[in-house]
Structure 1
Amino acid sequence: MKNTIFYLLDNDTTRNGLTAVEQLVCELAAEKFRAGKRVLVACENEQQAIRLDEALWQRDVQAFVPHNLAGEGPRYGAPVELAWPERRGSTPRDILISLLPWFADFATAFLEVIDFVPDEASQKQLARERYKAYRVAGFHLTTATYTPPGTT
């Protein structure tokens, strides 16, 4: 069965130049990498991919996450690949972490998808539309709450 988890964010605190969603993406990518999964992070645009690339490079040595921007890196890509609409990854991945504001048709190629419900009202509405699209596509849907560190 295909699964999608939506992380509900209770604020959008920016820290070290990353939004709450982007902070969580870095943590989830690291967690999935440590679990032996290959991850595609579908960014909204190239600038977001570059921000996440920099954030992943700046992690402590013990928390390093092998990653690359789509089209760069080793022949079959690093375990975590950062892509955006104009530059999609081409190697098979286990998990999609989607930062796209719309439902990505290619999401149906994944057994596991991670998506987000930001705190801002218009972004919540877009997340509701994606939630409906995942349901129509046959995904089992769950939610989880996330509070960025240092905001409680």
Structure 2
Amino acid sequence: MPSRVDFYILNSSRDQDRWSLLATLLTRQWPKGHRFHIHCSSKAECQSLDQFLWQHDILSFLPHHALEADSSHLPQPDSPITLGHEHAFPAEGDILVNFSPTLPDWIDTFERVLEIVVQDPHWLDIQRQHYRVFKEKGLTPNIHRMG
């Protein structure tokens, strides 16, 4: 079970702002030795986010690798940042960034979970439900209001 859950709350309703905050968090944290997995809601989102991370900032490289759902039998990439959807997740990782409307069955393999909240009614309902699930598991999510 994760030992820490963080909700980063944006005033925006745009996915692009969600991705920009993600890039900022990754830029600050992966050099400290953290291993991230970004759990996307779909293959299309995974591909778009992959492109975004490659093009985000020419001066700030974010080493990442997109996983395929059927690649569990293959050697895992030695990348501090992975992206996936459905059942594509790394064998190792300490921080899960959840962009999916569901909490994955394998969430307990991560020490920490991050949710980036945008002001979209659909996503607000989903992330409120995620918050309740974490509370029911005995966790107290940390709230970070990002302005």
Pair in the same fold by TM > 0.5: yes
Q: Matches of 1:97 and 1:82 in 2, distance apart?
A: 9
1:39-69 alpha-carbon deviations (Å, 9 max, x no partner): 1000001111111111111134431011010
Q: Matches of 2:56 and 2:19 in 1, distance apart?
A: 14
Structural RMSD (CA): 2.1
The aligned residue for residue 84 of structure 1 is: 85
After alignment, is 57-66 or 33-42 more displaced? 57-66
Please give the secondary structure, in 2, of the residue aligned with 1:63. Answer: coil
Q: Write the letter of the residue equivalent to 1:4.
A: V
Q: Write the letter of the residue equivalent to 2:32.
A: A
Q: Write the letter of the residue equivalent to 1:80.
A: I
Match 2:42 to one of 40, 45, 48: 45
2:22 is the counterpart of 1:21: no
The aligned residue for residue 93 of structure 2 is: 93
Please give the secondary structure, in 1, of the residue aligned with 2:101. Answer: coil
After alignment, is 24-33 or 124-133 more displaced? 24-33
Q: Matches of 1:31 and 1:112 in 2, distance apart?
A: 16
The aligned residue for residue 67 of structure 2 is: 70
Q: Write the letter of the residue equivalent to 1:9.
A: L
Compute the displacement of 1:75 (Å): 3.7
Matched residue pairs, number? 141
Please give the secondary structure, in 2, of the residue aligned with 1:140. Answer: coil
TM-score normalised by the chain length of structure 1? 0.82
Q: Matches of 2:98 and 2:13 in 1, distance apart?
A: 17
Give percent identity, aligned residues only: 21
Q: Matches of 2:47 and 2:140 in 1, distance apart?
A: 31
Q: Matches of 2:44 and 2:56 in 1, distance apart?
A: 19
The aligned residue for residue 150 of structure 1 is: none
The aligned residue for residue 127 of structure 2 is: 127
Q: Matches of 2:54 and 2:117 in 1, distance apart?
A: 26
Query: CA 1:138 to 1:56, structure 2 compared with 1: closer, same or farther past 3 Å?
Result: same
